[in-house]
Amino acid sequence: MISYLLLFSSAFLAATILPFYSEVLLYALLRDGGDPWILVAVATLGNTLGAVVNWVLGLYILKFQNKRWFYFSHKQIEKAQAWFQRYGVWSLLLAWLPLGGDALTLIAGIMRVKFWPFLLLVGIGKGLRYIFVVYVAGWV
């Protein structure tokens, strides 16, 4: 039970803006004989809920854009919004990417993507990533 909680937590943290990698723990739990489908479900749930945190942050982040401590420039935000408008909501299937995936979920919040399509697309992408990890772990 503790191992599932650790996997959930690491997957959750990995989806936020904090640098964290849940695949290593998933692999270790697989190697120790954990049920692959339960591990995929736990990791996907944690990682998707972490992405929801980014989406919620995106909903409110622009209220702070005129503060001196605000991290992003107006130009960066405009560029990200233009990119998202160009590729659309389907780009959320790529939210699992190590570089840019977390930013994509934040941008989705800024762009006011509806919650259910966001959750579905992000969940599918992240689930497929963990299934791939399980598949590769079977080769190793």
Is residue 140's pLDDT more than 70?
A: no
> 36 in a domain, yes or no?
yes
Torsion of CA 23, 122, 3, 9, to 10 degrees: 100
> 58 in a domain, yes or no?
yes
> 98 in a domain, yes or no?
yes
The range of the structural domain enclosing residue 10 comes to 2-133
> 101 in a domain, yes or no?
yes
Q: What's the domain count of the chain?
A: 1
> 138 in a domain, yes or no?
no
Name which of 23-32, 67-76, 82-91, 118-127 the model is least confident about: 67-76
**Tens digit of each residue's pLDDT (9 = 90 or more) over 96-125:** 988 788 889 999 999 999 999 999 999 999
> 52 in a domain, yes or no?
yes
Length reported for the chain: 140
**Tens digit of each residue's pLDDT (9 = 90 or more) over 35-77:** 999 999 999 999 999 999 999 999 998 888 877 887 778 888 8
pTM of the model: 0.89
> 88 in a domain, yes or no?
yes
